[in-house]
A and B are shown apart, each in its own frame.
Chain A
Amino acid sequence: MSYLELPPMGDLRIDGTSSTPAIVCESQAGFLEMRGDSYPENSFEFFMPVLAWVEDFLCRCDRPLTVDLYLLYLNTSSVKAMMDIFDMLEESHQRGRQVSVNWYYDKENERVAELAAEFKEDCSFPFVISQNAG
């Protein structure tokens, strides 16, 4: 599937709601950040612009991409969308691109760490899961 029919984009900013994460994509910096819970009913629709941005970024330049995640609860359709993102990163990494994921979680919230660890199983690029400081 291709997400490229959408217009090319520079930066992308999506404000968070109680059921969707805040998302920042910065093209120049090669940076993507997501914060919060993600359980929209229409996860695929919700993540479409982010999937498009990642595909666009990976195709149109060769700068490294750093993904910082402060995600908490994800419903299964959000999990699926995240896997699509990680698959694109993995494919790019296999072709020699520098990509990395940092997933931060609170110490008491071990479910988040377990979720992140399960994603990491399928990724060979640098994928660091660490406790939030403080």
Chain B
Amino acid sequence: MELLDLYTLQQSYNQNGVMLCFNGPLTKSLIEEIGYALRSYMRNESPSRSIDVFAAYIEMTQNIRQYAASKGWTDNQTTATVVISHQDKEGRYAVSSGNVVEAYDGRQLVARVEALAEMDKSQLKSAYKEQLRKPRVEGTKTGAGLGLLNIARKASLPFTCSLRQLENGKAFFTLIAII
């Protein structure tokens, strides 16, 4: 078995200002634990920025779990790659998440994210309020379809995202929010 070169990994993390990185099955309690760490890392940050970064992290990770649940995937199949980095000269944070999706869903997701990236803050607020008023879809216990809108409203820059085609009709979706 090839040994992992942790030094190279560490150098790469440092260069990219990675303060927190997770890869693997994403459980409900892990979301809370990592969130707890994130909050303590950001203790010296302004409460507003800290809450915005935390909110982006929570909405992204809960979206990933909810998506997997909607597909009937098990906890072990619910894997994600989550990176929170801080390298921007203006002190901004990047909250990034990647997960495997059905390629068809991935293309729809990209279209949705690109549409949100085109909207200004007041359009995002109207869209958010409109979505908030929509009745819950029967059978969904949790999501309100508000997560992406909420992150877009708090972000300093428009979303960036990408979709990489995988085998078996799957794709890897990456979403980056700058807060």
Contacts and interface: CB of A to CB of B under 8 A. Distances in A.
Contact of A76 (B31, B48, B147): B147
**SS class, residues of chain A in contact with chain B:** mixed
Interface stretch (A57-65, A90-98, A103-111): A103-111
Contacts of A73: 51, 54-55
Contact of B132 (A18, A79, A108): A79
Interface string B25-57: 000100110011000000000111001101100
A83 B51 contact: no
A109 B51 contact: yes
Contact of A79 (B36, B54, B144): B144
Interface stretch (A8-16, A21-29, A38-46, A124-132): A38-46
Interface string A58-91: 0000000000000011011101100100000000
**SS class, residues of chain B in contact with chain A:** helix
A42 B142 contact: yes
B117 interface: no
A77 B143 contact: yes
Interface of A: 1, 18-19, 39, 41-45, 72-73, 75-77, 79-80, 83, 106, 108-111
Q: Which 5 A-B residue pairs are closest in the complex by CB-CB distance? A: A76-B146, A80-B144, A111-B51, A109-B47, A77-B144
Interface of B: 28, 31-32, 35-36, 46-48, 51-52, 54-55, 58-59, 62, 65-66, 132, 135-136, 141-144, 146-147, 149-150
